[in-house]
């Protein structure tokens, strides 16, 4: 599984990005990443509206957090990709395992 994270905004407005790739089974299996990813996927399913709000462009699914404010001054904005799925999440909405995964990717990814 490949996970990419882009964090933009903030006071300085300097974007940061990183990606990690790990196995969910087989030889490349990484239990720590796999467990965190599964927990984050469950939280993601609760955050985002059903398929009616998803737009598909060029084979990529894009979702935006339901009920999220459009812009908060000096706040971070997160874009996460789980494989081909892309999620845009304001900083105030990103929490729990989803935030932990995003921060871990930025800290340990390349």
Task: List pLDDT tens digits, range 73-101.
Answer: 788 999 999 999 999 999 988 999 999 99
pTM of the model: 0.77
14-54 confidence digits (pLDDT tens) = 899 999 999 988 888 899 999 999 999 998 988 775 555 44
- Selection from 54, 1, 42 nearest residue 25 by Cα: 1
59-69 confidence digits (pLDDT tens) = 445 555 555 44
**What crossing angle do the helices spanning 31-47 and 96-108 adopt, rounded to 10°?**
130
């Amino acid at each position: 599984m490949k996970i990419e994270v882009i964090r933009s905004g903030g006071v300085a407005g300097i974007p940061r990005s990183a990606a990690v790739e790990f196995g969910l089974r087989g030889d490349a299996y990484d239990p720590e990443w796999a467990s965190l990813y599964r927990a984050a996927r469950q939280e993601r399913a609760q955050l985002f509206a059903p398929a009616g709000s998803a737009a598909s462009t060029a084979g990529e699914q894009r979702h935006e957090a339901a009920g999220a404010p459009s812009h908060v001054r000096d706040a971070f904005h997160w874009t996460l990709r789980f494989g081909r799925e892309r999620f845009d999440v304001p900083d105030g909405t990103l929490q729990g395992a989803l935030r932990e995964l995003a921060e871990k990717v930025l800290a340990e990814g390349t």
